[in-house]
Chain A
């Protein structure tokens, strides 16, 4: 039975049975039901990966903390003139994680800084994946000279040490969050591009694509209606892994002094700690919590990404 639906389930992943029963609804409604079933299927299998679930829970906690930050700590926590404590106090009842060099509550700063760190990580990853997908799909679809040029450029970017490039970019532009997002996004899209291109080539070799073209489907139709949905799961897995890398990159750039100094972020806290001499004074409370936060978020995204990968492509992911 043929179904002219926009989404197509990858031919090599197990389905739970035959096509949907025709209930008399239009193709749109059918598509919805099919999507919902795929999602349920996806979740059932994702749930079996314990590590992935742990990662997801942790992410939910962090997201909750970040979103409710304006309510729980409020932006006043970042104010320097009305800082409640003395500079560099050690942890006490009043300040569970001590104070920073201005006398601000470090626990509050940690929660407040999660917004920037998560936001920058997400934005940079989205930018990177968007560029990579665009490049990969078009390169895989069009082939020919255009694709060769594009792949050469991709290879060139792959070869460039990303941190060096990001530092150079951040130095050229002014110090702001936008610069950091741009610097990370622009330097880390090649891996996605390569993957997406390989997948595009694989998808385009399937018979139904040929059929769609024969039926008069133009480039845009094929790319958006056929290739993109099939490439999406891979892109999703990539994006999750990319967020992890982007968060680490943001922390690195902030630590190196290339971020916005007036904005509170985890990497920025680490840089302030170092500048204030916390390392040699043994003020561990300034140094340890932001690093743990960065590692925890990066790890959670990595775990989720790996779980998503193994759900979508059982051949690749081998662990539970």
Chain B
């Protein structure tokens, strides 16, 4: 008894025996549970495997979460991509060369005065609840957008030129315009079923997420939605172009790109798009993986440097505080000539981009333009320094160029905090322009919209995805896009307002002959290039990856080489053919579940055994 009072030394050997026994018990329990877990009939693996054998699932990892399931409200690419699958548009784009092909409309023609367009609506398109899709649905959709403020949120710009839309018969849709509009074969507006949507009373609040499956007539039907998690779709068996081959399409939200890539490696997802594309490191590491194909193809985006031309409103009032030195064309040219675009392609994009030239990316071959040798602003820092000297901005004794006010020039460059390319290029700009003698303040913000709209910036990183019909990206540089007064917001991208550009824009919008229109567009690109307010540094490639053991074939757009996610059309997901192999991907998922269960069980059982044995040893030792 007295031996126990002084604790440690003397009771040592007596204490160790219960301890060893405890350890043995825990290990034994663990092994028991492990083997039990593997043999348990509750193991979901068999169920999964059998289910998977009969069901092919295409899982797409997306980096955005859906903002709204209503095609009238959604702005994000993931949402509009899903809407393209749920609802048909009037026309679609050919995957080979982007020309307009039938969608909901089979034929279309314009009147002699170019102001009336008549579409023939196909008779073989049914909504997923069985009702026939008719011209009335299309007319109702357009009219709603023309009359309801909430419904015009996303696509109101398409109908701003419409005077009247009617459906004289179930297969005929007539749209009367106020002015000629060449984009009538590129109306990217989802047509919704009137009989479902006419019950909605407030379009600005209705998110289309209350009843599933959602009624639509596209290649897929939306069956389930969990916010910030996933969207599930099933194929529309009665789709007139033919039903998709996969049994289920799931868009799963991965906030973290690395997580998405790791999920692809393990087979949890079939496809990763990247945001906006995979990083060079990710692409490089995936290239060597078995069963994974990296799709590195010409992209549809341009990545440009925007220069503030002095923000002003349509009523002539100026606002914002762009640096006045930027109003000199020589300064703008000099700045761009000091940008080593090849280094950007090489170091920042590591080869996954093409050097920028004209405004429209080369894959839209019809509209692509490149400057001639004499017009080109090639990389030439020496010439850039010369230009700045000529413009009157000379270096002082410490090597900094002085503005007209005698103070060293420093430009504020707006960058998107969430875009690593912006930050990287920004650091290069700091050094290149530093050599020229110009200071740079890199403003990386989460919210660039505010200073942008207020005109309180000097330069900014800019980029847009271009559609087969380039009207939108051209329209944002017209004077008409400026805000009406400094208090309004306009559609303008960079406050560019040039008479010659506007003239060309008006002519191309009214030109229905494709070849003539293309020439006009190219002239516009040339003008924009010379102005120097919007110079393209690079066309980033679309870098995506998918598992070849889940997807046997999938159509890119353009078919020769293009992107899979974010297409103009539903070609990729509609044409995807499942690979015939076994469902190894689901296997890993269920093995994981088993491991999870086993770990939990081990922890619980181990803890329980531990405490039980402690109590027992106490009782043993009690005298």
B591 interface residue (CB < 8 Å to A): no
Q: Which A residues are CB-close (under 8 A) to B445? A: 175
Residues of chain A at the chain B interface (Cβ within 8 Å): 79-81, 83, 87-88, 101-103, 171, 174-175, 257, 261-262, 272, 274-283
Which residues of chain B are within 8 angstroms of A282 by Cβ–Cβ distance?
Answer: 285
B584 interface contact, C-beta 8 A: no
Residue positions of B touching A, CB distance < 8 A:
257-259, 261-262, 265, 278-282, 284-285, 343, 347, 350, 415, 417-418, 420, 423-424, 426-428, 430-432, 442-446
Which of chain A's residues have a CB closer than 8 A to the CB of B418?
A: 257
Dominant SS among interface residues on chain A: loop
Q: Told that A81-B428, A171-B446, A280-B258 touch, could you supply 6 new A-B pairs with CB distance under 8 A?
A: A87-B347, A175-B445, A262-B426, A275-B279, A277-B279, A280-B259
Given contacts A276-B279, A277-B278, A277-B282, contact A261 B258 (CB under 8 A): no
- Residues of A near B417 (CB, < 8 A) are 175, 257, 261
From A79, A174, A281, contact of B282 by CB (8 A): A281
A274/B428 in contact, CB under 8 A: no
Contacts of B281 in A (CB 8 A): 87-88, 101, 276-278, 281, 283
Q: Is the Cβ of B431 less than 8 Å from the Cβ of A261?
A: no
> In the assembled complex, which residues on chain A have CB atoms less than 8 Å from the CB atom of B444?
175, 257, 261
Cα separation A262 to B278 with both chains bound (whole Å)? 23
Total cross-chain contacts (CB, 8 A): 80
Contacting residues, chain B, for A280 (C-beta < 8 A): 257-259, 261-262, 265, 282, 285
Known: A280-B258, A280-B261, A280-B265. Is A262-B427 also a contact (CB below 8 A)?
Answer: yes
Task: Tell me whether A79 and B347 are in contact (CB under 8 A).
Answer: no
14 A-B pairs within 8 Å (CB atoms) are namely A79-B431, A83-B347, A87-B281, A88-B284, A175-B445, A257-B418, A257-B444, A261-B426, A276-B420, A277-B282, A277-B285, A279-B258, A280-B261, A281-B284
Name the prevailing secondary structure of the B interface residues: helix
Residue of A nearest to B440 (CB): A262
A283 to B259, CA, bound (A): 14
In the assembly, what is the distance between CA of A279 and CA of B254, in Å? 14
Assembled-state Cα–Cα distance A283/B279 (Å) = 13
Q: Which 7 A-B pairs have the closest CB atoms?
A: A277-B279, A280-B261, A279-B258, A281-B285, A277-B282, A275-B420, A280-B258
* Shortest distance from the beta carbon of A50 to any chain B beta carbon, whole Å: 22
B261 near A277 (CB under 8 angstroms)? Answer: yes
Cα of A297 to Cα of B366 in the assembled complex, Å: 59
CA distance A103 to B281 in the complex (A): 13
Identify the closest chain B residue to A279 (Cβ).
B258
A278–B431 CA distance with the chains assembled, in angstroms: 25
User: A80 contacts which chain B residues (CB < 8 A)?
Assistant: 347, 424, 427-428, 431
From B423, which residue of chain A is reached at the shortest CB distance? A261
CA distance A283 to B261 in the complex (A): 14
Q: Cβ of B427: which chain A residues have Cβ within 8 Å of it? A: 80, 102, 261-262
**A277 with B257: CB separation less than 8 A:** yes
Q: Which residue of A lies closest to B432 (CB)?
A: A81
Complex alpha-carbon distance, A277 and B418, angstroms: 14
Q: Is the CB of A81 within 8 A of B431?
A: yes
Which residues from chain A contact B423 at a C-beta distance below 8 Å? 261
Inter-subunit contact A174/B443 (CB<8 Å): yes
Known: A81-B343, A171-B446. A277 touches B258 (CB 8 A): yes
